[in-house]
Amino acid sequence: MASSMIDLHCHILPGVDDGAKTFEDSLEMARKAVEQGITHILCTPHHGNGVYNNPASKVRPLVNELQENLDSNDLPIKVLSGQEIRFNGNLLEEISQKEILFVDPSNVYLLIEFPTNSIPLHVEEIFFKLRSAGHVPVIVHPERNSRFREDPNLLLPFLKMGYLAQLTAPSYVGVFGKSIQKIAKVMIQHNFIHLIASDAHRLQNRDFYLKEAFEKVEKDFGIEKAESLKQAARDVVAGDFLDLETPLEIPSKNRGFCFFKKFRS
């Protein structure tokens, strides 16, 4: 995997959530991924978010079927089984029941989604139990959570405990607006972000933008930063531990990002 670009968060699996609807949609996304330079995609359908449930037993055979479709269409993409897991208090129970899919074969990393407008109650307690069991939560797209946008330093306690944060590529290139783009950049600058992934859903309005995001990181912060973020994805997929840079508190002058306080839960 030394030269590969890995997408750790993608809704390419067809017919299971609000991403690809058909295998043809998935193939169309895969063709675009190849153009982007992506060689490996973690299929991460929504799981346990109140609308979609995609336990491991459902996801794995569909990923195998998707791989067969990719191979028969000569698309050089390797797909892996995963989930975007909505935070809930039953995570440890679901893990024991083998309903949870991790990013890596060693069951270290798992992608955790918070509600859009809140930081869940009891999250510190559950995360601590996960960490004690050898698991490392990866908080996905914190730049799109309104609480973190109001005060990104609310993410600091999680980072200091060794949990990871994954930025969505379209956020950083401005697809979701200037406010989210600005906080995405500030989060990278202050070592809040360990991974960048596409969170692609479909090509029409939730495209990959992974190549563009890494090009922007290189422009804003240098090639070493861009390459370290790419390498982090390889390390996480392999189940290796990351050498984390110390997160730096974001000064108050950089915190006025959120225009959506009325939606705060």
pLDDT in tens, 57-90: 999 999 999 999 999 999 999 999 999 999 998 9
CATH of domain 5-263: 3.20.20.140
Dig out the tokens for 111 from the structure: 């992608």
Q: Which of 44-48, 89-93, 236-240 shows the lowest per-residue confidence on average (mean pLDDT)? A: 89-93
The sign of the CA dihedral 258, 261, 263, 265 is positive
Tell me what percent of the chain is helix, strand and coil, each rounded to the nearest 5.
45, 15, 40
Q: At residue 254, what are phi and psi to the nearest 5 degrees?
A: -100, 10
63 to each of 67, 97, 115, 127, how far by Cα in Å?
6, 20, 26, 28
The amino acid that residue 76 corresponds to is P
Confidence (pLDDT) at 265: 25
Mean pLDDT of all residues in 17-41: 97
pLDDT in tens, 116-128: 999 999 999 999 9
254 to each of 151, 156, 216, how far by Cα in Å?
9, 15, 20
pLDDT in tens, 90-100: 999 999 999 99
197 to each of 41, 68, 92, 236, how far by Cα in Å?
10, 24, 25, 12
Domain ranges for the chain, please list them. Answer: 5-263
| β-pairing verdict for 38-43 and 46-47 | unpaired
Confidence band, pLDDT 50/70/90 cuts, at residue 254: low
pLDDT in tens, 149-175: 999 999 999 999 999 999 999 999 999
